[in-house]
Structure 1
Amino acid sequence: MTEATVQAEVNEENKDSFKNLIAIKHYRLLIAGQFVSTLGDGVYALSLIWAMKLLSGSALFMSLVLTAEVIPTIIFGIFAGVLVDRGNQKRFMMMADIFRGLVVLAIVILFWLNMLLPWMLIAAAAVASSFDAFFSPAKSVAIRTIVPDHLMTRAQSLSSTIQTVVGLASPALAGVLLVFSVPTAFLFNAFSFFVSFFFILFIKEKSLVEKPSNKLNKKSFSHDLKTGLKTIITVPIIRGMIIYLILINFMLAPVAVIFPLFVDNASQLAMVEIAFFIGIFIGSITINLFSKFRKIVPMITGLCLMLGAFGILAFCDNFVEVLILIALAGIGSPLASIALQSLFLVKVPRELLGRSQSTMRVLLESSKPVSLLLTGTLLVHFSIHHLFLGIAIFGGAVVLLMILNPVIRKDNRLKVRKLVKGNSVSVMRTTKKGRRWHENPPSFLLSHLQFLSIPPHHLITLLRCFLQKAITNQRS
């Protein structure tokens, strides 16, 4: 092997490195903004639910304030993605930071004046979430624009690690701030939004401030909406997972309500959150061990760890044991989320990423309001331990269905063709090893659970030919 060949291999190995990723100036500014914003969000998440607990003491109201955060995402999510994709993502992020900071400041002022009521907190949560619906897709497009494809997984891993490290500090900080006063915690969050605004202000990437060449009208807006949904549907692995991801979101939504009710004071709540993020930190490091496996492996492993921990929590009362189990659930969280995020960012074209992510987010978040409201109702009749057990059982069934679905296991494409041999239809599976034809489509479909992976018109063709063949056999 020549020296030039060796050097070429070394350069290729170093190409995908954190050093090259950090060397991107605009990415550093974006990540710095994320660092500060995530620190404030960690404090805000605890402050919001804890403030509602102090104001109302009701699990139903706690569910309502979390529902108020989700509904704007569903209402504005798809429209935000279309607008973000049409250019000037930097402006969307800056405006979102400013207005979210002002909303949180309003909460602080109302609290100081002893005028804050539960409905006001719910309204403020809804308004802040409305601006967040624009920030999240704009940030994803910014990362996709600034970071090259070969560094995308590294970028996602670094983003998750930063969120984890900040998550280790923010719950402890939130506990201290909440012990001191609730307004202080909200004030810190408002400050973090303004700091994030200034970091984004200094990003000078031209493609993030470009304006669309064509004006937005009703026809183009409708076309962009359809394109976002069509993009998701045309990616087999994402299309096959949508139903399962919606069910998983439905299953995990109650956790945000259960944890604050599971503890007696702000200090215990901070300890629970710290334990969870310690687990996330370990999981973010551990995911590198799965680099040679299919992405479904860390996804399923992470979900099993989370569900197993929740199942055991149903029978656990010791607080130390609770912290250990919550840390175990935290380990599973990044294993599932990082693999999914990387998959989505790589599979979807950059110019369609904003609207596609918003569409995906709306589909996933659509189950949360029902889940959260149902949680508030169920907690009136059942204990928290029973709810943990229900989450584990329901989630286990969803994971089992995911494992049985070959499209998710192998990320293969299915093509259906009608052969010119009577009424017979063959299904062609494309694999890494080549092509393989399957006769007898009904048994193939039933044994491999392929219904979620075949386009509707192809499935109708299969069923029609199967019925025709069955009628012919019965007559003969």
Structure 2
Amino acid sequence: MLIFKSLSSKNYRFFFAGQAFSNLGNMMKQVAVGWLVYRITGSALLLGLVSFSREISAFLFSTVAGVLADRYNKHRLLMACQSIVAVNAAILALLTLFDWISFQALLVLEILFGLVSGLEMPSRHAFVNDLVEDKNYLTNAIALNSSLFNTARILGPALAGVLIPLIGEGYCFLIYALASFSVVAFFAGIDYRPDFEKNAGQAI
């Protein structure tokens, strides 16, 4: 089908699959975090504080993240960021499952998540351009990415709404951690060499 023509690129297929797990899990996790904050604090103000802290951290760090994306290997940068996200989610899951979670610990983990998200975002958007071999399909790849994100915004919260009453927030975080580790595995399958490495190899 022409709508999926950009998936003919192997590297973009791995990236798209990883993004599917990442976006869906992230949207599910955000709902579970909000539920958990309100359950342990009963405060709408603290619930807003957690969301604000996560988003402002991502916003502030993204102002310098674009420079890093231009200077360093975007593939390695994304792998590192996704690994940190996976470990962050695993810690959150364990603290919640063993009932060791506190508002302070949750706030710190969410701020760290925001910082990593801010670092990862410019690299992720720019990475699509490097992965699609046939540039005629680049617009299609960008459209698929947008559709994937919007689909996750619908399905992720709905999935969280079903799972939280059944298994609790901790297991939702555990699912997200496993999804994040799978993203690292998908990204590891990408065969990527940035232009500056290719040029260095040709010079040698």
1:198 aligns with 2:185: yes
Q: Following the alignment from structure 2 to structure 1, what is the Cα–Cα distance between the partners of residues 147 and 66?
A: 26
Q: Is residue 161 from structure 1 mapped to residue 161 from structure 2 by the alignment? A: no
Equivalent residue number for residue 29 of structure 1: 14
In 2, distance between residues paired with 1:44 and 1:208? 36
Return the alpha-carbon distance in structure 2 between the equivalents of residues 54 and 86 of structure 1: 43
Look up the equivalent residue of 1:120 and give its one-letter code: A
Trace 1:374-389 onto structure 2 (pairs within 5 A): none
Q: When you count helix as a share of all residues, which structure comes out higher?
A: 2
Q: Counterpart of 2:97? A: 112
Find the aligned partners of 2:56 and 2:153 in 1 and give their Cα distance: 25
Q: How does 1:448-463 map to 2 (within 5 A)?
A: none
Aligned partners of 1:76 and 1:130 also within 8 Å: yes
In angstroms, what is the RMSD of aligned CA positions? 2.3
AA of the residue aligned to 1:42: M
Contact 1:40 1:189 in 2 (8 A): yes
> Any conservation in 1 of the 2:62–2:121 contact (CA below 8 Å)?
no
Shift of 1:115: 2.2
Aligned length: 198
Is 1:187 aligned to residue 174 of structure 2? yes
Q: Which residue of 2 aligns with 1:102?
A: 87
Question: Which SS does the other structure have where 1:203 is aligned?
Answer: coil
Measured at CA, do residues 209 and 99 of structure 1 come closer, stay the same or move farther in structure 2, by a change above 3 Å? farther
From the CA coordinates, give the structure whose radius of gyration is larger. 1
Q: Is this contact kept in 2: 1:87–1:209, CA < 8 A?
A: no
Residue 87 of structure 1 contacts residue 210 of structure 1 at CA under 8 Å; is this kept in 2?
A: no
Residue 68 of structure 1 and its aligned partner are, at CA, apart by: 1.2
Residue number in structure 2 paired with 1:85: 70
Q: 1:150 to 1:199 in 2, by over 3 A?
A: same
Q: 1:20 deviation in Å?
A: 3.5
Q: Compared with structure 1, are the counterparts of its residues 114 and 94 closer, same or farther at alpha carbon in structure 2 (3 Å cutoff)?
A: same
Instruction: Report how far residue 166 of structure 1 moved.
Output: 3.7
AA in 2 matched with 1:124: L
The answer to whether 1:207 aligns with 2:194 is yes
**Structure 1 residues 208 and 164: alpha-carbon distance in aligned structure 2, compared to 1, 3 A threshold:** farther
C-alpha distance in structure 2 between counterparts of 1:49 and 1:19, whole Å: 35
- TM-score, scaled to structure 1: 0.39
Report the Cα offset of residue 169 of structure 1: 3.2
Distance in 2 separating the partners of 1:188 and 1:91 = 24
Q: Which residue does the alignment assign to 1:127?
A: 112
Partners of 2:158 and 2:31 in 1: CA distance: 10
Counterpart in 2 of 1:320?
none
Q: 1:37, 1:196 within 8 Å by CA — same for their partners in 2? A: yes
SS of aligned partner of 1:206: coil
C-alpha distance 47-123 of structure 1, shift in aligned 2 (>3 A): same
Gaps of at least 5 residues in structure 2 are none
Change (3 A) 1:209 1:121: farther
Distance 1:74 1:211 in 2: 32
Tell me how far apart the structure 2 counterparts of residues 123 and 211 of structure 1 sit (CA, whole Å).
40
Distance 1:31 1:212, change over 3 A: same
Is 1:177–2:163 an aligned residue pair?
A: yes
What residue is the counterpart of 1:63 in the other structure? 48
Q: What is the match of residue 364 of structure 1?
A: none
Q: Is the 8 A contact 2:18 2:182 kept in 1?
A: yes
Structure 1: 5+ residue runs without aligned partners? 1-13, 214-476
* Pairwise CA distance, 1:212: 10
Distance 2:156 2:62 in 1: 27
**SS of residue paired to 2:175:** helix
Distance 1:57 1:22, change over 3 A: same
Query: 1:51, CA displacement in angstroms?
Result: 0.9
| Cα distance, 1:183 vs structure 2 | 0.1
The one-letter code matched in structure 2 to 1:189 is Y
User: Are the equivalent residues in 1 in contact too, given 2:25–2:156 (CA < 8 A)?
Assistant: yes
Q: What SS is found at the alignment partner of 2:194?
A: helix
Deviation string, structure 1 residues 423-454 (Cα, Å, up to 9, x no partner): xxxxxxxxxxxxxxxxxxxxxxxxxxxxxxxx
